[in-house]
């Protein structure tokens, strides 16, 4: 037997011949050269070629201390004071924004730089504040942001001018003028919340800024350039420190509360007089002078030695006073809104935050300063129901637009965006109506295209009992509508069979009769399998006054508003403060809050919601009283979509004397009584 000897090393058998030393050195050198080449190539390819084309803005990557130092020569140019005549069509280049499918402006943030004068003194005593850092970070994380300066429509400097008190005015202006794309401030946006300084406290930023847009927190009617500048709130740091749970609207412990500590002496005297006249209905707070050491005075308010937690105490009042101080804009407004307290704003000439899009009449009471002595009488005249709506709206304004620097910054950009792309701008309702139901990623709960296609048409669902003659007349008239796809008759009489097939009107569309097991009004909203179209026309068997062209027009209106009820007879429901209950009106007025489903178009999806998702006690009441199914459907649609119905006006007045039946439900003497008593 022959054996081959195998040499072992400490690492195992030597199966591969050992490489010669000179060859090993050669390959190691070659590998090192290649590796260094790859690293160098990567660095040249991905390293920023200039400051302006650097990667996205973030404080984490480029801290204030590591930012490049830029010295400002004494002779550096200073921008002009600011053109009060500037408007979007004169001082803003909309062509920079161009067209894009998303109708969204692109915002570029300048890289961080530390500006100092020739002797090394910074232009700001505070540098970059936490609030401005939060704002820039929010913009950089939003869909508005771009790191490509050539695509930018709007430019935001990383120079913090939120608080004028911390700025050196001349040097800050010189720093702005040195920005690479400044171009006399064209398409530049500055954020400032505390303008002016002692003794006069100007209501706009004193830093010369050429044509730059200003998002300012204290504008007056004299300094605000309408349609150009944006009035923003003064951010309250307490928003981040204190979590106030939302309080249900309603009566509070105090009627009026004043919590500001730096009120002018004349206003303080007038408030004290109101306190004497109205007693405990008004709580007049001031700063505390006897707090223990270490207790934050900003979080406390006092009245005659009694200490209250601030801003928590604001939730204990229906109305909260917001008086002008040295500046028009006050952080107190944000605190009051967060507490769900209705702000009583007394600051003559003050431009309220985001007033370009927000309807402040729904969330506040604005009183001239000279009428301060009449404040109690004015507020007492507001109905309780309206006060509750204003409390709810005040809290929602804070949640949506005041809560954080992110909310303030993105709201500002959205307002500017709406100016540049007005055809895609948010509507009044979108700005001012709290969302009732939040749906993910879509606005319409029906997941429909903007306008449903015309081709499928609609299905007419006729609820009937035994009024055969009027039923046939309704079928004959509906069959003339060009967009009718199918007729579905819901036969609600279990004691009588429907007419024979030969007796029914001859129509050009499919006609189906469905017999129900029980006589219920809710049967008209059952999601029958026979309904294959998106649109449904619910119509009573005695509605013979509507012509085919009126019905066709109603369908065309529904196609534009497929998530709403679109009907013909309108009704009004309102709260009767004297009686303390809801009131239902069937008289013809100029006000409409619902449309009757005796003749109305809607999406078939609501049949499913009515049958399977609506609370059972509502349906049981409707079926037991044979009444109010149309009110229930109106409330259902409004609750789901947050939108009102749409009334289509027919040529003739829609009234019961034109109905053919003499035994209809609506002619019953108890019909209107039950509808008025429904609460």
The tokens for 2 are 């022959």
Distance between start and end Cα atoms, the chain:
108
Nearest Cα residue to 644 out of 654, 652, 631, 634: 634
Is the pTM higher than 0.75? The answer reads no
Q: What pLDDT, on a 0 to 100 scale, did the predictor assign at position 642?
A: 82
SS (H, E, C) 289-328: CCCCCCCCHHHEEEECCEEEECCHHHHHEEEEEEECCCCC
Backbone angles phi, psi at 350, to 5 degrees: -70, 130
**Going by DSSP bridges, is the β-strand pair 342-346/365-366 parallel, antiparallel, or unpaired?**
parallel
Percentage of the chain with pLDDT > 70? 82
659 has pLDDT over 60: no
299 or 18, greater pLDDT: 299
Q: What pLDDT, on a 0 to 100 scale, did the predictor assign at position 588?
A: 60
Q: What pLDDT, on a 0 to 100 scale, did the predictor assign at position 199?
A: 83
Q: What pLDDT, on a 0 to 100 scale, did the predictor assign at position 169?
A: 95
For 11-36, the DSSP string reads TEE--SPPPPHHHHHHHHHHHHHHHH
Contacts of 386 (CB under 8 A, 6+ apart): none
656 has pLDDT over 90: no
Pair 357, 417: CB distance under 8 Å: no
Contacts of 553 (CB under 8 A, 6+ apart): 648
Distance CA 49, CA 28 (A): 33
φ/ψ region of 501 (left if φ > 0, alpha if ψ in -120 to 50, else beta) reads alpha
Alpha helices, H only, 489-574:
548-560
243 or 41, greater pLDDT: 243
Q: What pLDDT, on a 0 to 100 scale, did the predictor assign at position 28?
A: 65
Q: What pLDDT, on a 0 to 100 scale, did the predictor assign at position 222?
A: 94
Give me the mean pLDDT over the 382-410 stretch: 96
Pair 525, 607: CB distance under 8 Å: yes
The tokens for 50 are 């200039």
SS (H, E, C) 35-59: HHHHHHHHHHHHCCCCCCCCCCCCC
Give helix 548-560 / helix 468-478 axis angle, nearest 10°.
Answer: 60
Contacts of 15 (CB under 8 A, 6+ apart): none
Q: What pLDDT, on a 0 to 100 scale, did the predictor assign at position 101?
A: 81
Q: What pLDDT, on a 0 to 100 scale, did the predictor assign at position 450?
A: 52
pLDDT tens for 68-81 read 999 999 999 999 98
Would you say how long the chain is, in residues? 679
If you search the block for the tokens 């009617």, which residue do you land on?
221
447 or 633, greater pLDDT: 633
Tell me how many degrees the CA angle 495-500-506 measures, rounded to the nearest 5.
Answer: 130
Pair 209, 176: CB distance under 8 Å: yes
Distance CA 138, CA 354 (A): 18
Q: What pLDDT, on a 0 to 100 scale, did the predictor assign at position 120?
A: 93
If you search the block for the tokens 């709260």, which residue do you land on?
575
Q: What pLDDT, on a 0 to 100 scale, did the predictor assign at position 439?
A: 41
292 has pLDDT over 80: no
Q: How far is CA 374 from the centre of its chain?
A: 34
Residue 641 pLDDT grade (very low, low, confident, very high; cuts 50, 70, 90): confident
What's the burial of 166, exposed, middle or buried (CB within 10 Å: 0-12/13-18/19+)? middle
Nearest Cα residue to 460 out of 444, 435, 477, 446: 477
19 has pLDDT over 50: no
Cα distances (angstroms) measured from residue 464 to each of 514, 587, 665: 11, 26, 12
565 has pLDDT over 90: yes
Compute the mean pLDDT over every residue in the chain, rounded to the nearest whole number: 84
Nearest Cα residue to 636 out of 659, 613, 617: 613
- The structural domains of the chain, ordered by start, are 60-235+404-436 (no CATH), 237-402 (3.40.50.2000), 458-647 (3.90.550.10)
Pair 234, 193: CB distance under 8 Å: yes
Tell me how crowded residue 509 is: count the other CB atoms within 10 A of its CB: 14
Nearest Cα residue to 390 out of 348, 359, 435, 420: 359
pLDDT tens for 485-542 read 999 999 999 999 999 988 999 999 999 999 999 998 889 999 999 999 999 999 999 8
Give me the mean pLDDT over the 660-665 stretch: 44
570 has pLDDT over 90: no
pLDDT tens for 95-148 read 999 877 889 999 999 999 999 999 999 999 888 999 999 999 999 999 999 999
579 or 71, greater pLDDT: 71
Residue 652 pLDDT grade (very low, low, confident, very high; cuts 50, 70, 90): low
**Going by DSSP bridges, is the β-strand pair 213-216/189-192 parallel, antiparallel, or unpaired?**
parallel
Side by side, which strands form the sheet with 254-258? 282-284, 254-258, 317-323, 342-346, 365-366
Q: What pLDDT, on a 0 to 100 scale, did the predictor assign at position 289?
A: 85
Distance CA 569, CA 19 (A): 98
217 has pLDDT over 60: yes
Q: What pLDDT, on a 0 to 100 scale, did the predictor assign at position 223?
A: 95
Q: Check the CA dihedral 60-63-66-72 and report its sign.
A: positive
- E-strand spans in 58-99? 69-71
pLDDT tens for 541-556 read 988 888 999 999 999 9
Residue 300 pLDDT grade (very low, low, confident, very high; cuts 50, 70, 90): very high
Give me the mean pLDDT over the 605-634 stretch: 87
Residue 454 pLDDT grade (very low, low, confident, very high; cuts 50, 70, 90): low
Tell me how crowded residue 388 is: count the other CB atoms within 10 A of its CB: 16
Rg for the chain, CA atoms, rounded: 35
Distance CA 558, CA 600 (A): 9
Q: What pLDDT, on a 0 to 100 scale, did the predictor assign at position 440?
A: 39
Distance CA 18, CA 210 (A): 76
Residue 593 pLDDT grade (very low, low, confident, very high; cuts 50, 70, 90): confident
3-class SS at 581?
Answer: strand
409 has pLDDT over 70: yes
Distance CA 485, CA 531 (A): 10
* Number of helical H runs and strand E runs in the chain: 17, 26
The tokens for 575 are 């709260």
3-class SS at 79?
Answer: coil
Q: What pLDDT, on a 0 to 100 scale, did the predictor assign at position 650?
A: 73
Pair 554, 623: CB distance under 8 Å: no
Q: What pLDDT, on a 0 to 100 scale, did the predictor assign at position 560?
A: 87
Pair 554, 581: CB distance under 8 Å: no
Q: What pLDDT, on a 0 to 100 scale, did the predictor assign at position 14?
A: 36
Distance CA 252, CA 314 (A): 10
DSSP letter assigned to residue 384: H
Residue 645 pLDDT grade (very low, low, confident, very high; cuts 50, 70, 90): very high
pLDDT tens for 238-284 read 877 888 999 999 999 999 999 999 899 999 999 999 999 999 999 99
Q: What pLDDT, on a 0 to 100 scale, did the predictor assign at position 673?
A: 46
Pair 374, 350: CB distance under 8 Å: no
DSSP letter assigned to residue 220: B
Nearest Cα residue to 346 out of 315, 377, 370: 370
């Amino acid at each position: 037997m022959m054996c081959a000897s195998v040499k072992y090393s400490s690492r195992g058998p030597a199966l591969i011949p050992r490489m010669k030393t000179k060859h090993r050195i050669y390959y190691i050198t070659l590998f090192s050269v290649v590796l260094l080449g790859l690293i160098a190539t990567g660095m040249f390819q991905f390293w920023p070629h200039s400051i302006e084309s650097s990667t996205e803005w973030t404080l984490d990557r480029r801290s204030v201390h590591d930012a490049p130092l830029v010295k400002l020569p004494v002779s550096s140019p200073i921008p002009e004071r600011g053109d009060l005549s500037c408007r979007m069509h004169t001082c803003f280049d909309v062509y920079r924004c161009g067209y894009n499918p998303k109708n969204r402006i692109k915002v570029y943030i300048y890289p961080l730089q530390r500006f100092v004068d020739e002797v090394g003194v910074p232009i700001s005593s505070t540098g970059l504040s936490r609030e401005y850092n939060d704002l820039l970070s929010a913009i950089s994380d939003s869909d508005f942001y771009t790191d490509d300066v050539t695509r930018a429509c709007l430019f935001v400097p990383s120079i913090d001018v939120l608080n004028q008190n911390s700025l050196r005015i001349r040097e800050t202006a010189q720093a702005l003028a040195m920005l690479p794309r400044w171009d006399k401030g064209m398409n530049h946006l500055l954020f400032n919340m505390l303008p002016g300084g002692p003794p006069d406290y100007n209501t706009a930023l004193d830093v010369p800024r050429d044509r730059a847009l200003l998002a300012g927190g204290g504008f007056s009617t004299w300094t605000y350039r309408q349609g150009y500048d944006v009035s923003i709130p003064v951010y309250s740091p307490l928003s981040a420190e204190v979590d106030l749970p939302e309080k249900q609207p309603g009566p509070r412990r105090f009627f009026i509360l004043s919590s500001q500590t730096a009120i002018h002496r004349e206003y303080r005297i007038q408030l004290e007089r109101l306190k004497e006249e109205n007693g405990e209905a008004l709580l007049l707070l001031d700063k505390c002078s006897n707090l223990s050491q270490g207790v934050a005075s900003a979080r406390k308010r006092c009245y005659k030695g009694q200490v209250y937690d601030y801003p928590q105490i604001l939730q204990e009042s229906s109305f909260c006073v917001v008086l002008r101080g040295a500046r028009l804009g006050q952080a107190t407004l944000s605190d009051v809104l967060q507490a769900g307290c209705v702000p009583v704003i007394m600051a003559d000439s003050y431009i309220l935050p985001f007033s370009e899009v927000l309807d402040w009449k729904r969330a506040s009471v604005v009183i001239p300063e000279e009428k301060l002595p009449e404040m109690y009488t004015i507020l007492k005249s507001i109905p309780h129901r309206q006060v509750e709506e204003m409390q709810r709206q005040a809290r929602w304004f804070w949640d949506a637009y005041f809560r954080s620097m992110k909310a303030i910054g993105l709201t500002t950009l959205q307002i500017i965006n709406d100016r540049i792309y007005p055809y895609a701008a948010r509507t009044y309702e979108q700005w001012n109506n709290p969302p009732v139901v939040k749906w993910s990623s879509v606005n319409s709960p029906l997941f429909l295209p903007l306008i449903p296609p015309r081709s499928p048409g609609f299905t007419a669902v006729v609820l009937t009992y035994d009024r055969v003659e009027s039923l046939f007349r309704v079928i004959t008239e509906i069959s003339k509508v060009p967009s009718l796809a199918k007729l579905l008759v819901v036969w609600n009489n279990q004691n009588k069979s429907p007419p024979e097939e030969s007796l029914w009107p001859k129509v050009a569309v499919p006609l189906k009769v469905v017999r129900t097991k029980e006589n219920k009004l809710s049967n008209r909203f059952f999601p029958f399998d026979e309904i294959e179209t998106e649109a449904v026309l619910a119509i009573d068997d005695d509605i013979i006054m509507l012509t085919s062209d009126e019905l066709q027009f109603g369908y065309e209106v529904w196609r534009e508003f497929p998530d709403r009820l679109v009907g013909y007879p309108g009704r009004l429901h309102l709260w009767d403060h004297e009686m303390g209950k809801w009131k239902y009106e069937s008289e013809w007025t100029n006000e409409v809050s619902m449309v009757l489903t005796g003749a109305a178009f809607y999406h078939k999806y609501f049949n499913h919601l009515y049958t399977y998702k609506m609370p059972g006690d509502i349906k049981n009441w409707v079926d037991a009283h044979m009444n109010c199914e149309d009110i229930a459907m109106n409330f259902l649609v409004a609750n789901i979509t947050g939108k009102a119905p749409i009334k289509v006006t027919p040529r003739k007045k829609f009234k019961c004397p034109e109905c053919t039946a003499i035994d209809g439900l609506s002619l019953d003497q108890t019909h209107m009584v039950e509808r008025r008593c429904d609460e």
